[in-house]
Structure formats: C-alpha cells, structure tokens
Structure 1
C-alpha cells in the first residue's frame, strides 16, 4: 500500500534509531492533542503472514453471532494489508451449521488509558457487513474472571444503501460508541429487560475509500477522530465523577432516562458495588461480521468481499513511557535538624499526567519513616511512609490522617507484611492529579530490592476512599484520594518514633513508573 512520504520517513527513522537505543518521539496525529508522543506499538502488515506473537484469531468454535462463525482461515496478509474475508459457506460448529464465515483478530497485548490508537482501513465493498475497529477486555488482567465488561467502538462501518453509490457520496455510517456491559446486572429498559449503558454517534464517510480512524483514550475523556479531525468526544460525568473508572458515569451526554437507569437503583456515587476489573486494559480488535439491516441489507453480494487494514498504531505521551529520571539525589540518614531536600521539578496536583517518586530505604525495628512532600510554605501536599508495625501509610493534603494497609481493603487481607526490618526496599509513590472536579490521589508500593522489580506499573484504580479502600484489582499497595491543592517543591524524611534507625539512600523523581526504578 502506498502511503504518504511523511509517514514513510517517520517509520524509516524508527527502524534506524530504535536498534541503537534511541527514543523516537512524535507529535502523533492529530496535532490537536498537544502532546509529544512515542510510538509504542505498530503493525503495517508487511510480512508474509500474520504475526501470531502479536495477534490472536478467534476460533470458529468460540462464538457464533448473526449466523456467522469467525476464525483464522478468513484472515490473510497480502500486499501490506491484513484482509478479513467474508464468505458465504456452511460450517458446522458444535451442533449448529452456520451460513457465513468471517474474520476476528485481536492483539495479545492490552492498552490504555492515556493512549492514541489509530488504524487505516477500507471496508468491504458491500452493504450488510459490519467492519469494526474496536477495544474490549478479552485478556483480562484482573483475578475475578470478568471479561468484556467495557467496550469502545472506535468505528463500526456499514454501507448505507439509501445514499447513492457515487464518488464523494457519504454512504458510510460509522458508529462511534462506548458501552458499559456491566449495567446488565441492574439497569433495565422501558420493558424491564437488561440493558447496557451506551453513548455514541454516527460518523458519515465515503464508504468506498480508505479512512483513518483514531481514538484518544484519556483519563477523563474519549476523543474520536476521522482522518485526523476530531469528530466527537465523551467526557467525565460532572455529577457522578467518582465512577469514572467503573465505566458507569463516563459520558455526560446521557439523556435523563438513561442516567436514571444507571444510578436510579442506588442513588449515590458508589465506589465499590460494581467492583471487579473495569476494562481499562483493553485489546485492539478488528472484525467484519455479516449483519444486515433495512438500510444496509445483507445479500450474497457479501460473499468474497473483505475488510482491508493498512496499518494500526498506538502512541503514548512520551513522558509516560520515559525511563529516564528527572532527578536522582543521594540521601543521608535523617536527623532532627535535617533541612528539606529540594525537588527540581515541582509535583503539581493539577498536572495533566501523574508524577512518580521513589526512595531506596531501610529501617530497623521500632523505626517509622515518614516522607512529607512540602509546598513552598513548608506544608505537606502528600505524605507516605511506614509505621512501626511495618504497615504502609499514604496521605494526600495538609491533614495527616493516612490510609493504612493494616485497615484498608483489600490490603488488609494480605498475610505477609508489606515491609520488613533490616531489608532494603524501593518505596514508590504515584501522585495522580485531580480529574476535572475529582480529587487527586496518592498511591504507594514497597518492593524488596533482593527480588526482581515489576516490569510494568501496578494497575491504578481511581475509585479510592480517603480511608484507602479500593477495588480488588488495584495493583498499588495503599492509596488515598482526598482534597489537596498546590504543588510540592521539597521533601523531608523523619523517623516519627525516634526509635531504631531510618536509612534512606536514593531519591528519584520522574514522569513514569519506569523512570523511578533503579537502573
């Protein structure tokens, strides 16, 4: 497939520099996002076959939908494109015989949030087939067994036969939508049947052409793009903002009857009752499904057609993937007259993205280290530490009323201690800025340095109480979300009991989890 020279030049630069260890940054399209981006995933389908290390095909036996079985024989890589073929053919699946087969393929890895995802493809040249580029939780990193609880349709494109099939005519209906399937457990439609909570719109386009479809999956908004131009966005619900990460409450444009279905049962911004994995880590999926409608009827003309995917790419803000710390400072044991240590880049609770800090730390029996992040007036913006009983503490705001792993759920269910005496630990903290009207948060983990450090950031679940309780899938050891303002410009370490010893050695500040890990 012939592509614009600017895109070819960018890819050539990646190929040349990445083996040498350079970080290749982009202002990824669209420019309106106002960030420098790093390309974190791409596939141009230039090989002889689909890379099975990257992609998984749904098996024909997995699921039948609209009298169609989807599987690997309907996938092909040819001339730099991934082709998803539609065939009218009988296939026996279990005790059923279907009339159609088609393709369904998804990434092994999961993505999001804070990513821009983009694909260029051409829909199959017939009505009655749904050509889909979407996200769902197929590979669930949680432990509760839930799947497909949350879905984002970057586009589902079908041909509209009501519009003349002439050059330049907008005869493609591209459904751009978000679904929360968890609401089937409690939300009902006007007939009393289970219903998902959804929001979206139709993007009109020329069906017979290649188009580039993109999505910014942010912390508080979803922004949909068509050919590099913003087409539609959904934002955090202004009233029920605490349910941002549950899915419910994510889009503020709901009509009143839908909002009543979502919240009418409980009537409060409930942080826990819809517990379990929320779908924030999702797989990229391509699928084409025979699916007729009055305005897009399915006929034998669909037999032999295919959806042609030119490329798919995922970009992430460069700061969030950086492995280089902003500051690395050697520390001395704290004393009664120890001066605060300056932070070279202030940690602001109103930043667009989180800030990360880490401390290499050891303590002896009876000691209780506390680290206070201080504003210009010397007042705490956030605090973290370990108590004399080796429980982790975290607090955000001026008030010292910390969340404690001894009492906060699910941390309190852990049998082994989070910190041990006379052992070197890496104490890592994430300061998550406020989201709209929501409160900022602090999250803390302690990793023993005599064991391998995690390869990726612990899962962050934003629905946190001031007491530190959160969802079972949360990966950080202790969290707290509460009102806080300002920015930290220094920190002070102290031993709050005066017993034993606190021995810090290194402080690191960075824009990503990886940037505050030891080299």
Structure 2
C-alpha cells in the first residue's frame, strides 16, 4: 500500500514541476519580465572600435521580435550624462551624422516591447553600454595610406640631395654645440655627390663629432606628412634622428599644443633591431613630459627604410616602411608649425662609442613633406 502510494507520488512530481514552471513563466511574461532567450545583441560599432567615421556613423543591433521600437542613446561619458543623441527608432539600425572627430563615445540600445496588458517594458541588450572612438573628419582620412597621401596631397618640401653641396635655401648646419658625449660639427654633414646626404660620426683627437642640419627659418609647417628615406648606422654608441622642432616647445601651460618635439625616428637600438619614436613637450626642465614607442623591426639596420609621421589636428600616426607603428595624441597634439632636423648624437643610450669602428654614417636618400589640400 505504502509502496504504491510513494510510487504514484514520484510519477506525479515531475508533471507538477513542469506545470508550476509554465505558470511562473506565463505570469512573468504577463507582467513584462522578459525571458533571457529574448535578449538581443548590439552589432556595431563594436566595443573599443576605433576610427569610426564621425560624419556618418551607422549603428546596428539584432532585431527583436515584437519590439514596438528601440531607444538609442549616445553619450560622451559612460554614465550617459553627456548625451549627444537620444531618440526612438522603429528599425534595427540608425545612421547618426555629425559626431565630433577624435572623440570617445558610449552607446546603448534598448528594445521597447508591450506586455499582455498593453504596458511598455524595456529590454536591455546583452552587451550593455559600448564604447567606440571616432577617427578624423571622414572615412577617407581614416583610410589614407602613405601612398595615397603621396598621390593626393600637396608636396610642400622635397630634397633628393642631388649635387655636391647642401642646398642652403632649405637647410642650415646646426650650431656646433656640445651634444651629449660629443659635438655637432659642420664638416660632418655633407653630400656625397651620388644623391645622398651624409651625417657622419667620427673621432678626432679623442673627441667625437657628428653632423646635424635643420630647416629653421627656411621651412616649417603645421601638420602634414613628413617622411625620410635613409640607411641607418652599423655601429653602436650613437644614434641618427629625423625630428621636428617647434620654437615654442619650451613653453609651459598648454601641454604639447603650444609646441612639441616630434621624434619620427631615433636609431638608438642597433643590437635589438628597434628604433624610438617619441614626443616631448613643456620644455626640458622640471615640467618636461614625454611619451614614446619603441617598435621591434627586423633588419631595420640593414639597407634603406622610410620613416614618417602623419601629424593631424587630432593625432600623430607614425610609420616605418609605410606600416603604422604608433598612433597617439599624447600631450595634446601640437597646433603650431615645426621645422625639420636631421642629426646624429653620441651617447651611451645607444651603446658604448668606444666599441664603434668609426667613421660611421647615417645615409639619407630624400626628405619629403606633404600637406593635405586646404590646410595652411
């Protein structure tokens, strides 16, 4: 008798569980609590997306069955307090125009459904609030490669170093100052007569000398694409450099916006096949600040290579052999013109000069500068 009773109970219990679960689910939906299976996903822009076109940004998400509408919110802060767009959309995508370039945004999409009682209920997407960054003024800026720049932008400066004398309408020797563990010397910057600028490092009478030239008071430009093609040194103890300098770099108060030293290439890592790309601002004393990138590039100290920066209003994009190696806006991007410098300096940052077989050379094929049409 008891066995039959318990056996009957065991058979009935699973059916009771199913009935209770079904009733709970039905009741939950009747009051607007949506089952997890109804959750949907945001599609684009994806989390941490960069270089989103600010002029025409398309937002997409999964379509929710029976959704009456969707609410799209875009803000400049994660708490969604600095809202730049807040509107209802009937379809599962929305194109938003006129976002600011080079800006971080956060976006959230919510589906609006109606429960069985006709009351509206919100359903958040599975991904929550997403972050993305806009690029420059339009897609073409984002997609501009160095080759496209060379073809489409205005060539504002060019020196192929033909002839047998440095063009004094473009360059001057840097002052023959003591630099690090050596001295800049006029005689160590010259043309070889074969289409190359030679920046030589040598030892004379127990002292070390290196060449250095600059375009100060002859050519300067704010923003653009700055490029050098050169062959780096083979010996340690010194580094070659291609860099931009603003006369106002020592000013303090507006970070790098009032002048930044832009080091496009410093060849200080011969043994590890690396170079340095760097930014310096707020002078060189107590207020000095900097940021840098040291990419590893196999065989960079063999043969000729190109080193460049695309300096825009919002960021710097550094290249080696037309490949991007560093994108940064550290210090706030400089908004003042800069002139060109090609130099070499002796110092233990690059190893022990006593181990070097001198003379050694930085050999420069050309320097070119481009400016985006319409910029001044």
Per-residue displacement from partner, 1:257-302 (whole Å, max 9, x unpaired)? xxxxxxxxxxxxxxxxxxxxx7721111001111124x73322524
**Per the alignment, do residues 33 and 77 of structure 1 end up closer, same or farther by CA in structure 2, a change over 3 Å counting?**
closer
| Equivalence for 2:211 | 103
CA contact (8 A) 1:55 1:105 kept: yes
Q: Distance in 2 between matches of 1:52 and 1:33?
A: 27
Q: Distance in 1 between matches of 2:290 and 2:248?
A: 22
| Equivalence for 2:184 | 70
Q: Once the 2 structures are TM-superposed, how far is the Cα of residue 217 of structure 1 from its aligned partner?
A: 0.9
| Matching residue within 282, 289, 295 for 1:197 | 289
Mapping 1:379-398, distance limit 5 Å: none
| Equivalence for 1:214 | 308
Q: Distance in 2 between matches of 1:299 and 1:195?
A: 34
CA contact (8 A) 2:225 2:371 kept: yes
| Equivalence for 2:168 | 52
Q: Secondary structure at the match of 2:187?
A: helix
Matched, 1:83 2:193: no
Q: Once the 2 structures are TM-superposed, how far is the Cα of residue 158 of structure 1 from its aligned partner?
A: 2.2
1 or 2, which has the higher helix percentage?
2
| Matching residue within 357, 360, 369 for 1:305 | 360
**Per the alignment, do residues 33 and 50 of structure 1 end up closer, same or farther by CA in structure 2, a change over 3 Å counting?**
closer
| Equivalence for 1:232 | 326
| Equivalence for 2:113 | none
Mapping 1:378-417, distance limit 5 Å: none
The runs of 5 or more residues in structure 1 that have no matched partner are 1-26, 91-97, 143-147, 162-170, 185-193, 237-247, 251-277, 321-511, 513-519
| Matching residue within 264, 285, 291 for 1:154 | 264
Q: Secondary structure at the match of 1:50?
A: coil
Residues paired across the two proteins, number: 223
CA contact (8 A) 2:150 2:370 kept: no
Q: Distance in 2 between matches of 1:41 and 1:212?
A: 16
CA contact (8 A) 2:197 2:365 kept: yes
Question: Which protein has the larger Cα radius of gyration, Structure 1 or Structure 2?
Answer: 2
Mapping 1:110-259, distance limit 5 Å: 110-138=219-247, 150-161=260-271, 171-182=272-283, 184=285, 194-205=286-297, 206=299, 207-235=301-329, 248-250=331-333
**Per the alignment, do residues 31 and 81 of structure 1 end up closer, same or farther by CA in structure 2, a change over 3 Å counting?**
closer
Q: Once the 2 structures are TM-superposed, how far is the Cα of residue 160 of structure 1 from its aligned partner?
A: 3.5
Q: Distance in 2 between matches of 1:29 and 1:42?
A: 19
CA contact (8 A) 2:222 2:335 kept: no
* TM-score with structure 2 setting the length: 0.54
**Per the alignment, do residues 53 and 28 of structure 1 end up closer, same or farther by CA in structure 2, a change over 3 Å counting?**
farther
Q: Distance in 2 between matches of 1:66 and 1:300?
A: 17
Worse-superposed segment, 297-306 or 37-46: 297-306
Q: Once the 2 structures are TM-superposed, how far is the Cα of residue 208 of structure 1 from its aligned partner?
A: 2.1
**Per the alignment, do residues 158 and 134 of structure 1 end up closer, same or farther by CA in structure 2, a change over 3 Å counting?**
same
Q: Once the 2 structures are TM-superposed, how far is the Cα of residue 310 of structure 1 from its aligned partner?
A: 0.5
Q: Once the 2 structures are TM-superposed, how far is the Cα of residue 36 of structure 1 from its aligned partner?
A: 2.2
Q: Once the 2 structures are TM-superposed, how far is the Cα of residue 195 of structure 1 from its aligned partner?
A: 4.8
| Equivalence for 1:509 | none
For the aligned residue pairs, the C-alpha RMSD in angstroms reads 2.9
* TM-score with structure 1 setting the length: 0.40
Q: Distance in 2 between matches of 1:73 and 1:33?
A: 35
Matched, 1:38 2:154: yes
**Per the alignment, do residues 195 and 126 of structure 1 end up closer, same or farther by CA in structure 2, a change over 3 Å counting?**
farther
**Per the alignment, do residues 104 and 32 of structure 1 end up closer, same or farther by CA in structure 2, a change over 3 Å counting?**
same
Q: Distance in 2 between matches of 1:115 and 1:107?
A: 16
CA contact (8 A) 1:35 1:317 kept: no
Per-residue displacement from partner, 1:226-254 (whole Å, max 9, x unpaired)? 10111111137xxxxxxxxxxx444xxxx
Mapping 1:367-378, distance limit 5 Å: none
Q: Once the 2 structures are TM-superposed, how far is the Cα of residue 28 of structure 1 from its aligned partner?
A: 8.6
Q: Distance in 1 between matches of 2:165 and 2:149?
A: 34
| Equivalence for 1:287 | 343
Q: Secondary structure at the match of 1:86?
A: strand
| Equivalence for 1:402 | none
